[in-house]
């Protein structure tokens, strides 16, 4: 086998990249897929949840971006306490300084991709949680990934910046065919009018690239992360779990 690499991407913060990365990874692992989740955001929120509440990590993705560090990526992988098939490489705030010093590295955009080549055979899916900007770790994720998933939330400014993001993606990928999909996160059932307006605009910007699956707004989803748990572990009967299952189903049908 060789892993499919999926990046959660959007230069806007707070749209659901990390939450989706956590629950998508967890859902895949619970279905028996071997999953490696990698935290590329110095905020480290993905790491905190998948580790069950740790905040500082010695085995750290930052080692992949350090000058003169020849670490073997397999040495950085840890098993999540939440699932037998869910592994991760965490990070913390110290990554931000490493990114800045790494801007002078040669072939800097290729680092992650090269490292992943040596572990791709060990996993079915590699999930990359990106920071809310287009910094060095995001460009590394763009080079490495086979599929891009872009959550948009349901606020008034939901789609601002989406066109820029698609442009940036095009630029970094240098003309290669791109497999990107936009999906709606935090969809509230109450306001049909707003939902329809966002759907229409989204179709205009991303046409064929909008997933059928949407993730509902659910108190359980937020609460779970707050308790450093994936949703399935926090509340096994939560209806929102179905949304992540639907997401898995749709994504696997696309690959
Ligand atoms: N579907 C959802 N329902 C309820 N809250 C959500 C949902 N998705 C995300 N959130 C909450 O929104 C906030 C931002 O989500 P997060 O995944 O951290 O965004 P990003 O990684 O894009 O910055 C978090 O507090 C998270 O718990
Ligand atoms: Mg995040």
* Strand 86-89 with 35-39, pairing: parallel
Query: Quick one: how far is CA 65 from the chain centroid?
Result: 19
CATH code, domain carrying 161: 3.40.50.300
Domain that holds residue 241: 4-254
pLDDT single digits (tens) 174-224? 777 889 999 999 998 877 888 888 888 888 888 889 999 999 999 999 999
Q: How high is the mean pLDDT of the chain?
A: 93
Distance CA 182, CA 208 (A): 10
Ligand 1 nearest atom to the CA of residue 12, by list position: 22
Ligand 1 nearest atom to the CA of residue 10, by list position: 22
Tell me the mean pLDDT in the region 225-254. 97
The token pair that represents 53 in the structure block: 């509440």
- Percent of the chain scoring above 90 in pLDDT: 76
Ligand 1 nearest atom to the CA of residue 187, by list position: 1
- Percent of the chain scoring above 70 in pLDDT: 100
> Which ligand is located closest to the Cα atom of residue 137?
2
How many domains, in total, are found in the chain? 1
Judged against a pLDDT cut of 90, whether residue 113 lies above it is answered with: yes
The token pair that represents 87 in the structure block: 């592994």
CA of 46 to the centre of ligand 1 (A): 11
Under 8 Å between Cβ of 100 and 11: no
pLDDT single digits (tens) 40-84? 999 999 999 999 999 999 999 999 999 889 999 999 999 999 999
DSSP code, position 56: -
Ligand 1 nearest atom to the CA of residue 186, by list position: 1
Closest CA to 149 of 213, 195, 201: 213
CA of 121 to the centre of ligand 1 (A): 31
> Which ligand is located closest to the Cα atom of residue 11?
1
Strand ordering across the sheet containing 35-39: 78-79, 86-89, 35-39, 125-129, 4-8, 147-152, 180-187, 210-216
Query: Quick one: how far is CA 37 from the chain centroid?
Result: 8
Measure the N-to-C terminal CA separation of the chain; round to a whole number of Å: 14
* pLDDT interval class at 7 (50, 70, 90): very high
Under 8 Å between Cβ of 121 and 1: yes
- Give the binding-site residues of ligand 1, using a 6 Å CB cut-off: 13-19, 45, 132, 185-186, 215, 217-218, 221-222, 225
CA of 119 to the centre of ligand 1 (A): 29
Which among 19, 189, 244 is the best mutation to test ligand 1's pocket, defined by most ligand atoms within 8 Å of the CB?
19
The token pair that represents 202 in the structure block: 């989204």
pLDDT single digits (tens) 138-161? 999 999 999 999 999 877 777 888
């Amino acid at each position: 086998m060789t892993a499919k690499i999926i990046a959660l991407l959007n230069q806007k913060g707070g749209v659901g990249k990390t939450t989706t990365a956590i629950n998508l990874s967890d859902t895949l692992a619970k279905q028996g897929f071997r999953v490696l989740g990698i935290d590329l955001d110095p905020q480290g929120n993905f790491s905190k949840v998948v580790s069950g509440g740790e905040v500082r990590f010695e085995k750290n993705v930052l080692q992949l971006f350090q000058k003169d560090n020849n670490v073997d990526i397999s040495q950085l992988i840890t098993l999540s306490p939440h699932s037998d098939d869910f592994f991760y490489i965490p990070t913390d705030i110290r990554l931000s300084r490493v990114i800045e010093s790494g801007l002078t590295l040669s072939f800097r955009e290729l680092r992650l991709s090269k490292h992943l080549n040596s572990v791709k055979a060990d996993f079915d899916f590699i999930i990359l949680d990106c920071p809310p900007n287009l910094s060095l770790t995001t460009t590394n994720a763009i080079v490495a990934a086979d599929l891009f998933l872009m959550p948009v939330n349901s606020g008034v400014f939901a789609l601002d910046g989406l066109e820029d993001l698609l442009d940036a993606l095009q630029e970094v990928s240098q003309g290669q065919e791109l497999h990107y999909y936009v999906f709606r996160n935090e969809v509230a059932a109450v306001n049909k009018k707003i939902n329809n307006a966002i759907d229409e605009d989204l179709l205009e910007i991303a046409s064929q690239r909008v997933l059928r699956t949407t993730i509902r707004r659910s108190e359980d989803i937020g609460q779970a992360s707050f308790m450093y748990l994936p949703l399935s572990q926090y509340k096994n009967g939560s209806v929102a779990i179905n949304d992540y299952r639907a997401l898995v189903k749709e994504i696997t049908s696309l690959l």
